[in-house]
Amino acid sequence: MKEVNASIITIGDELLIGQTIDTNSAFIAQELNKIGIWVKRRVAVGDVKDEILTALKEQSKDCQVIIITGGLGPTADDITKPVLCEYFNSGMIINEEALQNVKAIFTKLNRPLIQRNLKQAEVPDNCFILPNLRGTAPGMWFEKEEVIYISLPGVPHEMKGLMQHSVIPKLKEKLILPAVVHRTLLTGGIGESMLADAIQDFENNLPPHIKLAYLPSYGLVRLRLTGRSDNTELVEKEVEGQFKKLKPLVIEWMIADADVSLEEAVSELLKAKKKTVATAESCTGGYIAHLITSRRGSSAIYKGGVVSYANEVKENMLGVRAETLQQFGAVSEQTVTEMVQGVIREIDADYAVATSGIMGPDGGSTEKPVGTVWIAVANKEKVKAGKYFFRFDRRRNIEMTAQTALILLRRWVLEQEAGNH
């Protein structure tokens, strides 16, 4: 099985100084991996002609596909197109298709079209144009000495559209690629190291052409099986067989047997049970509600919530008693219990989740240090509350609290619905 290697070159000074985080490379690598192209390197260079030329020359030595992002804008620091003209010994021309796309976009936006914008339609004369349905800069496809070079805009939304609608289909058409099959499941409530210990024998006995990857993130771990072969039907059957062996080994922590987000798994569970949920958030500031409602179709399961950041909101909107707050404090089992009871009563949902904690960097005490969190889940008859400690910065503490709350909500729903049947 011949391997096809790729290199991703990102262009822009802003990437090198950390002003912009490179998310493009991750997306491109994922899309290439899906079709059996192995990303051998990811290279970042500044807006410097010689450095771009050197990167192109070096990466072409052992990679059959080179994807470049960035530097295609209309300003003076966007030098990718002139550099590509030099590298491919070509001249610049106006591409009529790209020109009409630019004009159509500015007409739709009702904005004046200036000469600088029209330059977006200029491309090297020996490239194949990839239409940009989301912006003015077209993608460009070159071939030189059995290497495919693809230049894409650095704007993530535009790059993603071009990758999915043009680049991936054309690469599949042009190249003979191995079959790559993935099966992924999502676990929660167990760390990567403990999970690896639990399935060590399974991993050790995998055939050489099937690999297991651990993908940890915020209290969750994805397990991904990847099989590669020239025989699509055979590798699909083999991966599916191994996946069936893996699931019982992690059933205690498994959230979903598909590559989905935690919030998607929770939403699908509630939809399947025809149940609704409400949220009462203090320390998470509405982040749990955001996660739930970011999913399509969330109106079927999410009724609403209260961001009760101040104590008076806890009292006035959720019915938390003043004496509870005075005696136990806002970050306590008693307060979070009354919060979750209040929101399920006021919003009339089937289930509810509530959070109250100290996210940092200050506000902690000896008794309740930064990272202390109380989370409660409830239905109309019962409440369950738990205390947690997170050790990160404010942003990650909020994310960890939200993830933990959703894991607890999912478990609570499963327990209660199982008891009803």
C-alpha torsion sign, points 190, 196, 197, 203: positive
282 close to 308: Cβ distance less than 8 angstroms: yes
Q: What are the structure tokens assigned to 53, written together?
A: 């030329």
Q: What is the pTM of this model?
A: 0.79
CA distance 67 to 29: 10
Under the banding of pLDDT at 50, 70 and 90, the label for residue 65 is very high
CA distance 271 to 160: 30
CA-CA distances (angstroms) from residue 367 to 323, 332, 338, 401?
19, 11, 21, 19
Residue 111 has pLDDT above 90, yes or no: no
Q: Which fold has domain 4-174?
A: Molybdenum Cofactor Biosythetic Enzyme; Chain A (3.40.980)
Q: In the block, which residue shows the tokens 């029209």?
A: 118
CA-CA distances (angstroms) from residue 353 to 124, 145, 172, 356?
57, 60, 46, 11
Over residues 336-391, the pLDDT tens digits come to 999 999 999 999 999 999 999 999 999 989 999 999 999 999 999 999 999 999 99
Under the banding of pLDDT at 50, 70 and 90, the label for residue 179 is confident
Q: What are the structure tokens assigned to 342, written together?
A: 């209040």
Under the banding of pLDDT at 50, 70 and 90, the label for residue 420 is low
Q: May I ask the CATH architecture of the domain 179-256? A: 2-Layer Sandwich (3.30)
Selected from 3.50.50.60, 3.90.950.20, 3.30.2320.80, 1.20.1070.10, the CATH number assigned to the domain covering 262-419 reads 3.90.950.20
Over residues 245-291, the pLDDT tens digits come to 999 999 999 999 999 999 999 999 999 999 999 999 999 999 999 99
Residue 1 has pLDDT above 70, yes or no: no
Tell me what percent of the residues of the chain surpass a pLDDT of 70: 99
Using alpha carbons, select from 372, 391, 377, 400 the residue that is nearest to residue 219.
400
Averaged pLDDT for residues 137-145? 95
CA distance 220 to 214: 10
Contacts of 169 (CB under 8 A, 6+ apart): none
pLDDT score recorded for residue 302: 98
Question: Between these two residues, 341 and 112, which has the higher pLDDT value?
Answer: 341
Please, how many CA atoms are within 13 Å of residue 53, restricted to the half-sphere of its CB? 11
Q: What is the mean pLDDT of the chain?
A: 94
Domain ranges of the chain: 4-174, 179-256, 262-419
Over residues 213-246, the pLDDT tens digits come to 999 987 899 999 999 888 889 999 999 999 999 9
66 close to 7: Cβ distance less than 8 angstroms: yes
CA distance 334 to 307: 18
pLDDT score recorded for residue 114: 82
Under the banding of pLDDT at 50, 70 and 90, the label for residue 323 is very high
Residues in the chain: 421
